[in-house]
């Protein structure tokens, strides 16, 4: 008989649960929660009746064990990968060993109570919430606590006033207590290397995972040359006045004034924001730089005035978390990298009607857009100098560190070992205009004034460089460094690049072309240990006349062309300069591919340099010949000592002379006609002075003709282009490495320090 009972509708099952799963239970309904109550009762009973239990509780071991049991009952325990009873047994075994000595017992207790605090903050939300509220109210508006993170925004800039002038800005920093991770947001660095060269570096995020790794995102570096590109070109000289020595945080310094001028131009530009429909022009409604001033309007010096700049977050957890996320979004969307990427995407869509899907091409396009931006787009209102931070420690502390340099190596050795560096990419870009001006200044110089061929080559070279920007990308970089404990060993650093790509970008047409691509690269650096701070006791002593005489006698003892003699000569020159060296070795991995436009540019540049080189050599040889034969008008061919290669390739190049060039050779050989005029003039009774003047003109015209014929024959476009093409084709299929090893000189004078320093205790 069918049942007419009403069916009870079932509740829908959530996607993450099946029909056989048990319904979720409260933490209070778990059977494991009875264990904390039982453990608490046992602990109270033992402390009330036994003396050793009171000592056990006083050390903190009993309290820590009980807190861990409570966390296990709530499924939120520290070190969850270790079984509960294994953790408790090991922890209390350590206490039992330490309890045998009063010194070990005191050390155990000092370490146990901070562990109790951290365990409570990790396991119990009410403790973490209470701690955040207390810290926000206690510390006021400086650090901001969001969940287990400490956030700082609008930090003072760091003025670099050591070997070079520069300004470094970190727009925000977040420290995670549970993950032991420090994240720096929105890093901007501008360095004035020389009066006409500046380096700008932009990084959106740097993650430091303590004792694990350092992870850096995409790094964009732009080399800016000339007054029209630099941010700090017209910067005043930094003055060390009395106010700057007393105040820690400074304002209105030359670096800050120059950065604020560039930052004002950047903030006045309309910003590109990414939307669901692509990109659009939007006005930036958020303040780029938040400057908090005292309500009284009084400018306060010292630490308090600098700390007052830090942005405040709400004491409420939900509101603070929302403000924190909004602040990070603002830093990301107003950064120069984000705006440059959006600008490159917008221009490619408008001008070419295409999307840039390749990430490497997008980085190259963003580098070209970054070149026109200021080096520090978001300068704060205050800064602190590097030299000021170096002098903050007390003289006793500096003397202590000076006498114990081993402590510095003991600190740097594990830090370098446990912190390998990983960088997503380094994008180094430069302007073609600056490159073209450098070629004119360093290569062509004044030689184009009287040489039409050089002027043609200069226009060809400039047409490829002047209207473009160039970007070199180093992808997927891994770096490690080793600082030895012993001073007998050297510091070594190694970098590995997964791929190397060079791009040529034309900004006005958004054209991106790949000109060079390598299969990878690596670099290694060997640094002497005595270049570390407080290691002046192992620096080689200053050179003396006796040392120089010893090397000079060693050179005289050896033959002048032997390898040992050459080594002694190099050692003598190094000793006289009082320098040491950092050994650098860079290798590229084959195969490599090259664009045809780059090959044409290389061929034109090679021909230009060869023409200039031959002309200089011929002029020098002719000048020497004129000095030796000033009284004779005899025409001498180019000296055999000239660096002219007579191999098969040169013979082939001479045989490939064009008909016009052969005509010039025949014209240059027209001295027979001039000889007839000489005989006619002699028969007509020409004076001796007139004959010498005519012979001098003959010599000059013949010399010019021979020089043009020789240079045109040895340096021709077809031969250079053919050789360049052969080399490029061979490199596309080659396997192996090619590289360069060199030495970077370092002056030892600044590292020796002053006289009368205290002796070392642990060298």
Of these ranges, 23-37, 512-526, 654-668, 715-729, the one predicted with the greatest mean pLDDT is 512-526
Q: Which two tokens stand for residue 725?
A: 């093409």
Q: In degrees rounded to 5, what are phi and psi of residue 543?
A: -65, 145
Q: Is it the case that residue 374 has pLDDT exceeding 50? A: yes
Q: What is the average pLDDT across 138-165?
A: 77
CA gap 318, 629 in Å, rounded: 95
Q: Is it the case that residue 676 has pLDDT exceeding 80? A: no
Q: What is the average pLDDT across 296-322?
A: 55
Q: What is the average pLDDT across 665-688?
A: 50
Read off the pLDDT band of 292 (50, 70, 90).
very low
More confident residue, 756 or 496: 496
pLDDT digits over 557-581, tens only? Answer: 877 677 888 888 888 888 888 889 9
Residue with tokens 């002056």: 747
Q: Is it the case that residue 189 has pLDDT exceeding 50? A: yes
- The answer to whether the beta carbons of residues 166 and 189 sit under 8 Å apart is yes
Q: What is the average pLDDT across 406-419?
A: 92
Which DSSP symbol is given to 647? Answer: S
Domain ranges of the chain: 27-123, 532-595+740-752, 596-737
Q: Is it the case that residue 4 has pLDDT exceeding 60? A: no
Q: How many CB atoms lie within 10 A of CB 737?
A: 13
Q: Is it the case that residue 477 has pLDDT exceeding 60? A: yes
Long-range contacts of 46-51 (CB under 8 A, 24+ apart): none
Q: What percent of the chain has pLDDT over 90?
A: 27
The alpha carbon of residue 190 and the mean position of all alpha carbons in its chain are separated, in whole angstroms, by 12
pLDDT at 426: 96
Q: Which two tokens stand for residue 606?
A: 């090679």
Read off the pLDDT band of 180 (50, 70, 90).
confident
Q: Is it the case that residue 32 has pLDDT exceeding 70? A: no
Q: Is it the case that residue 181 has pLDDT exceeding 70? A: yes
- The answer to whether the beta carbons of residues 506 and 366 sit under 8 Å apart is no
CA gap 411, 404 in Å, rounded: 12
CA gap 315, 320 in Å, rounded: 6
Of these ranges, 133-137, 202-206, 277-281, 389-393, the one predicted with the greatest mean pLDDT is 202-206
Q: What is the average pLDDT across 480-485?
A: 93
Q: Is it the case that residue 407 has pLDDT exceeding 50? A: yes
pLDDT at 152: 86
pLDDT at 138: 61
pLDDT at 285: 35
pLDDT at 30: 46
CA gap 646, 11 in Å, rounded: 95
More confident residue, 159 or 37: 159
Q: What is the average pLDDT across 739-762?
A: 84
Helices (H), 423-525: 432-439, 452-465
The least confident of 235-249, 326-340, 469-483, 711-725 is 235-249
CA gap 395, 233 in Å, rounded: 37
pLDDT digits over 127-136, tens only? Answer: 877 877 776 6
Read off the pLDDT band of 267 (50, 70, 90).
confident
- CA neighbor of 197 nearest in space, from 164, 168, 175: 164
| Burial class of 501 by CB neighbour count within 10 A (0 to 12, 13 to 18, 19+) | buried
Read off the pLDDT band of 428 (50, 70, 90).
very high
Q: Is it the case that residue 213 has pLDDT exceeding 90? A: yes
Q: Which two tokens stand for residue 702?
A: 């013949």
CA gap 469, 480 in Å, rounded: 32
Q: Taking phi first (over 0 means left), then psi (-120 to 50 degrees means alpha), and beta for anything else, what does residue 75 get? A: left
Long-range contacts of 81-90 (CB under 8 A, 24+ apart): none
Mean per-residue pLDDT of the chain = 77
What is residue 3's three-state secondary structure?
coil
pLDDT at 332: 93
HEC states along 650-705? HHHHHHCCCHHHHHHHHHHCCHHHHHHHHHHHHHCCCCHHHHHHHHHHHHHHHHHH
Q: What is the average pLDDT across 205-226?
A: 93
Read off the pLDDT band of 229 (50, 70, 90).
confident
Q: Which two tokens stand for residue 660?
A: 């016009």
- CA neighbor of 712 nearest in space, from 454, 460, 458: 454
CA gap 548, 569 in Å, rounded: 10
Q: How many CB atoms lie within 10 A of CB 107?
A: 12
More confident residue, 647 or 687: 687
| Burial class of 319 by CB neighbour count within 10 A (0 to 12, 13 to 18, 19+) | exposed
pLDDT digits over 320-358, tens only? Answer: 788 888 889 999 999 999 999 999 988 888 877 788 889
Residue with tokens 């931070």: 389
pLDDT at 523: 95
Q: Is it the case that residue 175 has pLDDT exceeding 70? A: yes
Q: In degrees rounded to 5, what are phi and psi of residue 179?
A: -95, 0
């Amino acid at each position: 008989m069918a049942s007419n009972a009403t069916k009870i509708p079932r509740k829908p099952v959530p996607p993450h649960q099946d029909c056989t799963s048990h319904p979720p239970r409260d933490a209070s309904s778990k059977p494991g929660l009875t264990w904390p109550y039982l453990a608490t009762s046992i602990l109270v009973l033992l402390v009330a009746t036994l003396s050793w239990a009171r000592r056990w509780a006083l050390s903190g071991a009993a309290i820590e064990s009980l807190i861990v049991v409570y966390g296990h009952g709530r499924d939120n325990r520290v070190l969850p990968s270790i079984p509960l009873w294994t953790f408790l047994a090991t922890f209390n075994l350590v206490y039992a060993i330490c309890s045998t000595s009063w010194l070990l017992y005191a050390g155990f207790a000092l370490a146990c109570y901070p562990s109790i605090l951290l365990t409570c903050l990790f396991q119990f939300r009410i403790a973490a919430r209470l701690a955040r509220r207390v810290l926000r109210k206690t510390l006021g508006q400086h650090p901001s606590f969001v969940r287990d993170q400490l956030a700082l925004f609008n930090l003072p800039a760091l003025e670099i006033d050591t070997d070079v002038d520069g300004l470094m800005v970190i727009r925000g920093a977040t420290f995670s207590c549970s993950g032991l991770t420090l994240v720096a947001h929105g890093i901007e660095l501008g360095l004035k290397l020389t009066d006409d060269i500046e380096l700008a570096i932009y990084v959106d995020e740097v993650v430091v995972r303590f004792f694990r790794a350092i992870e850096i995102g995409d790094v964009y570096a732009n080399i800016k040359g000339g007054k029209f590109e630099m941010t700090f070109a017209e910067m005043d000289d930094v003055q060390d006045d009395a106010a700057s020595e007393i105040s820690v945080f400074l304002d209105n310094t030359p670096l800050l004034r120059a950065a604020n001028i560039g930052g004002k131009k950047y903030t006045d530009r309309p910003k590109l924001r990414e939307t669901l429909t692509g990109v659009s022009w939007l006005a930036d409604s958020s303040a780029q730089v938040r400057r908090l001033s005292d309500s009284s309007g009084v400018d306060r010096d010292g630490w308090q005035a600098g700390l007052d700049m830090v942005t405040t977050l709400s004491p409420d957890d939900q509101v603070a978390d929302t403000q924190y996320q909004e602040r990070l979004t603002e830093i990301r969307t107003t950064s120069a990298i984000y705006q440059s990427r959006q600008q490159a995407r917008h221009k490619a869509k408008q001008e070419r009607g295409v999307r840039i899907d390749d990430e490497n091409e997008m980085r190259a396009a963003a580098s070209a857009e970054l070149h026109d931006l200021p080096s520090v787009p978001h300068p704060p209102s205050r800064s602190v100098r590097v030299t000021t931070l170096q002098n903050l420690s007390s003289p006793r502390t500096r003397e202590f560190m000076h006498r114990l340099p081993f402590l510095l190596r003991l600190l740097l050795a594990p830090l370098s070992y446990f912190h390998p560096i990983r960088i997503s990419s380094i994008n180094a870009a430069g302007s073609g205009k600056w490159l073209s001006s450098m070629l004119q200044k360093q290569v062509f110089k004044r030689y184009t004034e009287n040489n039409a061929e050089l002027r043609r080559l200069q226009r060809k070279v400039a047409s490829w460089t002047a209207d473009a920007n160039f970007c070199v990308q180093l992808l997927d970089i891994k770096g490690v460094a080793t600082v030895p404990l012993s001073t007998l060993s050297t510091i070594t650093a190694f970098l590995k690049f997964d791929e190397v790509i060079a791009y040529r970008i034309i900004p006005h047409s958004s054209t991106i072309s790949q000109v060079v691509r390598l299969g990878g690269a690596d670099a290694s650096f060997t640094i002497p240990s005595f270049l570390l701070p407080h290691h002046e006791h192992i620096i080689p002593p200053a050179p003396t006349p006796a040392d120089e005489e010893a090397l000079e006698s060693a050179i005289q003892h050896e033959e002048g062309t032997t390898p040992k003699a050459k080594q002694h000569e190099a050692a003598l020159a190094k000793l006289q300069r009082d320098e040491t060296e950092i050994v650098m070795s860079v290798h590229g991995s084959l195969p490599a591919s090259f664009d045809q436009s780059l090959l044409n540019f290389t061929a034109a540049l090679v021909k230009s340099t060869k023409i200039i080189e031959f002309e200089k050599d011929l002029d020098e040889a002719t000048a020497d010949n004129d000095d030796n034969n000033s009284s004779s008008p005899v025409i001498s061919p180019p000296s055999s000592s000239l660096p002219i290669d007579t191999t098969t390739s040169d013979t082939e190049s001479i045989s490939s002379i064009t008909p016009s060039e052969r005509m010039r050779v025949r014209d240059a050989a027209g001295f027979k006609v001039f000889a007839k005029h000489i005989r006619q003039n002699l028969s007509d009774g020409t004076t001796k002075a007139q004959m010498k003047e005519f012979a001098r003109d003959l010599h000059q015209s013949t010399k010019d003709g021979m020089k043009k014929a020789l240079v045109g024959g040895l340096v021709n476009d077809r031969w250079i282009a053919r050789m360049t093409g052969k080399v490029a084709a061979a490199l596309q299929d080659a396997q192996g490495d090619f590289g360069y090893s060199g030495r970077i000189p370092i002056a030892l004078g600044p590292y020796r320090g002053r006289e009368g320093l205290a002796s070392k205790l642990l060298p």
